[in-house]
Every structure is written in C-alpha cells, then in structure tokens.
Structure 1
Amino acid sequence: MTRTRKDELCGQGPPGRFAAGEDPAKREQIIDGAKRIFMKLGFDAASMNDITREAGVSKGTIYVYFQNKEDLFAAMVERERQRITSAMQDVLQGSEEVEDGLFRFGMGFAAHTTSPGVIRAMRTMTGVVDRMPGLCQQFFSSPANIRTVLQAFIERHVMLGTLKVEDTDLAARQFIELSSGMFFKFRLFGELNDVPPKEELERVVRSAVKVFMAAYGTVEKPAMVKMAEPA
C-alpha cells in the first residue's frame, strides 16, 4: 500500500492539508449554505439536498462534518450565539463609564435583535423548540451569551463601586428587557414590520439606562443649593 493511500485511510493527508472533517473553512462553507436554506425554507422544509446545492459541496462531504440536519442546524445556532456574544463583548470593551457602557450595550442589543436576519433566525428556531428543546436552552443559557456578557460588566462596576447590585444575573435580565422596549417581541410576531428608527431606539435605551441607574447606581446627584432670600 502506498504511503499516500495509507495516510488517507488513517485520516492524515499530505502536509498542509486538513484531515477529513477538520477543515474550518469547509465547515463554515457548509454552515453558510445551510443558514441560507434554513432562513429561506425553514427547518422542516429544508433538505440535505437543498443544503448540498447551496453550499456547493457533495452530500458525502456534509456527512463527514455533520451527522444529520439537526446537527447542522445546531451548529448554525451555536455559531450565531458565539458571533453575537463576541460582538457585544467588543461593544463593552473599554467602557469605563457605567452609563456609557449600558447605553452602548443597549443600542447594540436592540439593533441586533430587531434586524431582519435575527428575526428570521428566531422564527426558525422557535419552530423547532418542541422537538429540540436543548438547542434553545443552550442558546439562552450557555455559560457565554449576551446576558452573561452584560452580567460581567455589571459585576465589574459593582467592584468599582459605581453600582450596588445584589443579584447581577437578575439585573442583567432586567436591563435587557428594558432596553429592548418590546421591539424584539413586536418584530418577532409581526406587530412591527421593520427595524425601529434609530431615534426611537435611542429614546428607549436612554430611558432604560436612567431606570437602571435609579435602581442600582451609587453616585447621588448633588442636591440643589437653595438660594438665600433677599434681605
């Protein structure tokens, strides 16, 4: 048996090449194609043949990377979770002022969750929640997600003394709800057909920051000095 053939059977290709199922670019190519199909057709209507054509790979290649359609869908959801988590970490990077950080987080969160792509993805995911409950739980309850990013920011400011919070997990959930301003739910269920205007998002997020700081802020505003009555 030639060395090349032996290496292939052992999962070892020539130098500089990836073993079967280990090429990250090929994996991303498959997930990208699957995402387009899932967003267009939904999970149930999408087939592996559809994904094969869209991704530009053979069906055999897909099965080297993913066991089935459910496995591929789960990989797509996990990748999106990682992307938004990383994006929100970048938003908070270097935010020294707590109110500035909260505002930037709120704007980023509201803009992301009301975007057309996210709304389509969430509608697709809610369609499989009864059959794949663990998938949705992983998206929202993973050790690293949008909420935990905000929670870490809040905990840092508790240590700095700019916030006083006993339950940082609850506080993070509260701010996320406040800053969404119901926009996400309205978009998800079709009550709102387009992305809210930036001015409206800013108005809602600024109000959310004000309410949050009123509940958890530690810096009191100086009292107004009463002017002396004229003699």
Structure 2
Amino acid sequence: MARVSQEHLDARRRQIIDGAARCFARDGFHGASMQGVLKEVGLSAGAVYRYFSGKEDLIAAIADEAFTSIRRAFWEAANATPPPAPDVLLGRVLRGLFSGEVCGLEGRQFASLIVQVWSESMRNERLAATFEDGYGAMRRVWTDVVEGYREAGILRADVPADHVARTMMAATQGFFAQMALFGDADPAVLENGMRGLMAMDRPETG
C-alpha cells in the first residue's frame, strides 16, 4: 500500500476544518451536527474521525486556528518601527482577516464564528483555556505595539501601555460583534472613527 504523503494529510485536514467552520458559522456550534459537517465537507465519517474525535475536537481546532491567525495578523502588521498608527493598524489587520484568510471564511461568516467561540468558551473548559491563552498572547502583542508608539515619541508616557492595548483590543472586539450581529461593519468605519477620536483637541480649562 502506497504511503500517504504529509502534504495529502495536511490538505485533507484543511478541507475538514474549512468545511466545519462554514457549517458552524452558518448553523451555530449547537445547531450543527456531525452529519451536517460530513455533508459540508463531502467526506465519510471514517475520513473525518481519522483527524478529529468529534464536534468538540473540531471546535477546539477551529478556535485555536482563529486565535493564532488573529494574533499573527496583528503582530505582522505591527512589526514596523515605528508601528502604524492605531487607525491604520486596525484597518490593515481587519481587511486581511475578513478577506477569507482564516478557515476560508469572509466577512460576517468569520465574525459570526469568532463571536460563537467567545460564547462557547464560557461553558467549555477546553475552549476557555484556549481563549485565555489567546487573549493573554494578544495583550502582550498589543502592549509591545503601544510600547513602540511610546519609543517613537507619539504616545504620552503617563498612560499604562496595557490600558491602551486593552482599549484597542476592545475596539476590535466591538467591530467583530457589529459585523456578526448586523453585517454592515466595514474596516473603513473603524479607521475613520479611530482617526477622529485620535484628532480630538481637549478644551482649555482654567
């Protein structure tokens, strides 16, 4: 019997993850069944269970990939000296993430999947651990970005870097929620809004 190449195994795993992600984004983690996943993927149960033990295992794999992709996207976009301003950085990253780069999902589908992962992590210990690790790593990445702003002299020194990082993360999370719930979000909106807030002048007091 001919050996199956690693390339073939990786491609098959990719096929399963992408198909399951489409199924979950459309039907929800609890609404989707393994039969639905098998139909979406177009493979037999034996072929899928060779890679994943069941739906929970698939959900964990998809969540891990999503978090890793988001963290990598922000790290790559911020890997400049000085890093792009927050409005430019957020817009650049979100355009990449919503273009089908993660699990083959675009726009509202991808946002829907991410919001479901957040919700599922509140009841699934395995997913909660993945989410906690991912969130911690994201905070470190964002804090490094903020420190880059400070070193470049474009951020005041009296605000904790972690506080700025978490605020930028919150803006991104809010964008995901708006896209998932309403489907009308656009990275340009976040860019323009962030740019407007950054340009505000505080009135003179005294």
TM-score range, shorter chain: 0.7 to 0.9
Q: In structure 1, what is the Cα distance between the partners aligned to 2:174 and 2:69?
A: 23
Structural mapping, 1:10-21, within 5 Å: 14=3, 17-18=5-6
Conservation of the 8 A alpha-carbon contact between 2:19 and 2:40: yes
Conservation of the 8 A alpha-carbon contact between 2:34 and 2:55: yes
Q: Which residue of 2 aligns with 1:23?
A: 9
Is 2:196 the partner of 1:194? no
Structure 1 window deviating more from structure 2 (46-55 vs 107-116): it is: 107-116
Q: Which residue of 1 aligns with 2:166?
A: 173
Could you say which structure has the higher helix fraction? 2
Give the structure-2-normalised TM-score: 0.73
Question: How many angstroms does 1:137 deviate by?
Answer: 4.9
Higher relative contact order (CA 8 A, sep 6+): 2
Conservation of the 8 A alpha-carbon contact between 1:147 and 1:172: yes
Q: Which residue of 2 aligns with 1:205?
A: 194
RMSD of aligned Cα (Å): 3.5
Conservation of the 8 A alpha-carbon contact between 2:94 and 2:187: no
Q: In structure 1, what is the Cα distance between the partners aligned to 2:118 and 2:153?
A: 40
Given the superposition, is the C-alpha separation of residues 27 and 144 from structure 1 closer, same or farther in structure 2, using an over 3 Å criterion? farther
Paired residue for 2:71, among 63, 82, 85?
Answer: 85
Question: How many angstroms does 1:139 deviate by?
Answer: 2.7
Paired residue for 2:51, among 51, 65, 68?
Answer: 65
Question: How many angstroms does 1:144 deviate by?
Answer: 6.8
Structural mapping, 1:1-231, within 5 Å: 14=3, 17-18=5-6, 23-94=9-80, 96-98=81-83, 100-108=84-92, 115-139=107-131, 141-142=133-134, 145-159=137-151, 162-163=154-155, 164=157, 167-177=160-170, 179-180=171-172, 182-188=174-180, 190=181, 192-196=182-186, 198=188, 200-210=189-199
SS in 2 for 1:75: helix
Q: In structure 1, what is the Cα distance between the partners aligned to 2:27 and 2:141?
A: 32
Q: In structure 2, what is the Cα distance between the partners aligned to 1:77 and 1:29?
A: 16
Question: How many angstroms does 1:38 deviate by?
Answer: 0.8
**What per-residue deviation string (whole Å, max 9, x for no partner) do you get for residues 58-115 of structure 1?**
2112222112210111101111112222222222233x345x3322222245655893
Q: In structure 2, what is the Cα distance between the partners aligned to 1:53 and 1:209?
A: 48
Conservation of the 8 A alpha-carbon contact between 2:91 and 2:187: no
**Structure 2: which 5+ residue stretches go unaligned?**
99-105
Q: In structure 2, what is the Cα distance between the partners aligned to 1:85 and 1:107?
A: 15
Conservation of the 8 A alpha-carbon contact between 2:66 and 2:114: no
Q: What is the identity percentage for the equivalent residue pairs of Structure 1 and Structure 2?
A: 25
Q: Which is higher, the Rg of structure 1 or of structure 2?
A: 1
Conservation of the 8 A alpha-carbon contact between 2:29 and 2:116: yes
Give the structure-1-normalised TM-score: 0.66
Q: How many residues align?
A: 192
Q: What amino acid sits opposite 2:53 in the alignment?
A: Q
Given the superposition, is the C-alpha separation of residues 122 and 136 from structure 1 closer, same or farther in structure 2, using an over 3 Å criterion? farther
